């Protein structure tokens, strides 16, 4: 696929106000796509849209609220067009030993990292099938979705990301078995510079959000016969 083939196609990016989501949104806007950025901080998303070939639409969405997700997908279909790319990026972490983990924090991590991703995927698949779109679903995972990290207090985050790994592969199999040409991918970064990682970066090797944006573009510009099912992007020298 040529970069020009992305022009005016519709992408939904969750958690688009900062970090990886913002980096992905900018990369897709640069490719001429219509990008619908979902985030609680709508104003932060709106700041991303200057100087790009594509067009940005910002919607205030709390992905832990199912009604917000459904409203955003309905609005996108009616006002922008059928979904061609979904990037499930919204994610949070909370570091705490399991015996001290606050229940509301536990629920928030699982709802944001796994349940919301599942609901968004469902809505994207419905949109793509209804409009005969052979599109892409990219789940922003983590190296923590494939390994048990040797850091205390990350048990719930790691659990949520292992769930993303299992869900992505299960849906890939389901789509392929049904004859669908929709492609789903797990994109697993190592340490990425973002608001969420500010307290842990220190002098550790890390990549930037724009690096993950380029990885997303790589996935969605593959020929029709190629499905990048798993892509890991680590900073050079990372040892976790």
Contact 212, 233 (CB under 8 A): yes
Separation CA 97–CA 178 (nearest Å): 42
The whole-number pLDDT of residue 49 equals: 78
Domains identified in the chain and CATH numbers: 3-233 (3.40.50.720)
**Distance between first and last Cα of the chain:** 34
The whole-number pLDDT of residue 206 equals: 66
Has 157 been annotated as catalytic?
Answer: yes
The whole-number pLDDT of residue 99 equals: 87
Residue closest to 21 by CA, chosen among 240, 227, 201, 192: 192
pTM for the model? 0.93
The whole-number pLDDT of residue 236 equals: 74
Residue in 52, 84, 157, 218 annotated catalytic: 157
Separation CA 88–CA 223 (nearest Å): 22
Each residue's pLDDT, cut to its tens digit, for the chain (240 residues) gives: 555 699 999 999 999 999 999 999 999 999 999 999 999 999 999 999 788 999 999 999 999 999 999 999 999 999 999 999 999 999 998 888 888 889 999 999 999 999 999 999 999 999 999 999 999 999 999 998 999 887 788 899 999 999 999 999 999 999 999 999 999 999 999 898 865 555 566 667 568 999 999 999 999 999 999 999 999 998 876 666
The whole-number pLDDT of residue 28 equals: 98
Contact 157, 93 (CB under 8 A): yes
The whole-number pLDDT of residue 207 equals: 82
> Containing H/E element for 152?
none
Length of the chain: 240
């Amino acid at each position: 696929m040529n970069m020009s083939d992305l022009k005016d196609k519709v992408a939904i990016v969750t958690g688009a106000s900062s970090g990886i989501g913002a980096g992905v949104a900018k990369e897709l806007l640069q490719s001429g796509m219509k990008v619908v950025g979902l985030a609680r901080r709508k104003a932060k998303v709106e700041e991303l849209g200057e100087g790009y070939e594509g067009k940005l639409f910002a919607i205030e969405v709390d992905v832990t609220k199912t009604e917000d997700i459904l409203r955003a997908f309905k609005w996108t279909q009616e006002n922008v067009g059928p979904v061609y790319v979904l990037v499930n990026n919204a994610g949070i972490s909370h570091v705490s030993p399991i015996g001290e983990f606050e229940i509301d924090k536990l629920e928030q991590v699982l709802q944001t990292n796994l349940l919301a991703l599942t609901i968004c995927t469902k809505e994207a698949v419905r949109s793509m099938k209804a409009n005969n779109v052979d599109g892409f679903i990219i789940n922003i995972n983590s190296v923590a979705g494939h390994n048990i990290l040797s850091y205390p207090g990350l048990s719930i985050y790691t659990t949520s990301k292992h769930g993303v790994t299992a869900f992505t592969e299960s849906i890939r199999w389901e789509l392929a078995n049904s004859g669908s040409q929709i492609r789903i991918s797990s994109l697993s970064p190592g340490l990425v510079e973002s608001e969420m990682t500010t307290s842990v970066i220190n002098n550790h090797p890390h990549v930037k959000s724009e690096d993950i944006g380029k990885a997303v573009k790589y996935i969605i510009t593959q020929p029709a016969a190629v499905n990048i099912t798993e892509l890991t992007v680590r900073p050079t020298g990372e040892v976790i």
